[in-house]
Amino acid sequence: MADRLARSALYVPGDLPDKLGKALDRGADELIVDLEDAVSPERKSFARDTVAAWLAEVDRRDVAIWVRVNPGAAGLEEIHILGASTALAGVVLAKTESAAEVEAAVAVLDGVGSSARIVPLLESGAAILRAPEIAAASRVHRLQLGEADLRADLGVTPGPDERELLWVRSQVVVASAAAGIAPPIAPVSTDFRDLDALRWSTQALSRLGFVGRACIHPAQIAVVNDVFTPSAEQVAGARDVLDALGRAGSGIAVDAGGRMIDEAVARHARAVLARVR
């Protein structure tokens, strides 16, 4: 499950044991168990211990489980305690500012003998400008945007089409491709009641190069999964492209509609087929 591109990742507070158990059956491809913003300061230790006990018992491989840890020394301690769990796909590093922070987390994972991977969460202007070096750090699986803090840091107030965030979002997509890591999943939408708006914005993010989206409420999962699951028509078209190239026996072919097909088109077709469920 961990090697498949995630369409949806559901955030779950780490200090709510009942929600942790139920979250596995909500339909998300991944869970991001949160020890950071969703947990009040006085419950941080309780949340960490709750998640450690839950990870020791959980036996599911159809849903990848990530844990978002706190920034700095507190997060490194959480990684030390949780990192050796075989149920853990990896850790989401809140408020990552540099590649050095990623490498510090890697050192802790190495120390506990863990092969878990890392998702740096970029939440500031400095993090965006350092996205290429962060993406190239050890064990980075993908990048992710934390736009609530990012908007506050930049002083951005998005309009209905969120064009004010286009440059930032594109930087993350480009940095991911340049580093050869998995494409990013898109940031959350905090409005979980307007599912039509969620679909519209998720489709726009898909066109921009995101391959999935983080969710804060189970009601968002079905819409997000639908947007990021290739349609039967897209799958058929991708297979036709690869079949045409195979029959041509060269790097260039012409499809049934008279369009030129080359390796660039074939790469896109393979990416579509890689997302088939």
The C-alpha atoms of residue 150 and residue 237 are separated, in whole angstroms, by: 38
- SS3 of residue 212 by DSSP: strand
Model pLDDT, residue 3: 59
Query: CA torsion sign, 200 to 89 to 91 to 41?
Result: positive
Model pLDDT, residue 236: 85
Q: Tell the burial category of 80 from Cβ atoms under 10 Å away from its Cβ (0-12, 13-18, 19+).
A: middle
Model pLDDT, residue 1: 39
For the chain, the domains span 8-227, 232-274
Nearest partner of 240 among 224, 226, 253, 227, judged by Cα:
253
Residues in the chain, pLDDT under 50: 1-2
Q: Which tens digits make up the pLDDT trace of 98-119?
A: 999 999 999 999 999 999 999 9
| DSSP for 130-142, written as a single string | THHHHHTSTTB--
Nearest partner of 64 among 20, 21, 3, 112, judged by Cα:
3
Average pLDDT, the chain: 93
The C-alpha atoms of residue 147 and residue 128 are separated, in whole angstroms, by: 11
CATH fold for the domain made of 8-227: TIM Barrel (3.20.20)
Model pLDDT, residue 31: 98
Q: Which tens digits make up the pLDDT trace of 125-148?
A: 999 999 999 999 999 999 999 999
Model pLDDT, residue 32: 98
CB-CB contact of 77 with 45 (8 Å): no
Model pLDDT, residue 259: 76
The C-alpha atoms of residue 186 and residue 145 are separated, in whole angstroms, by: 7
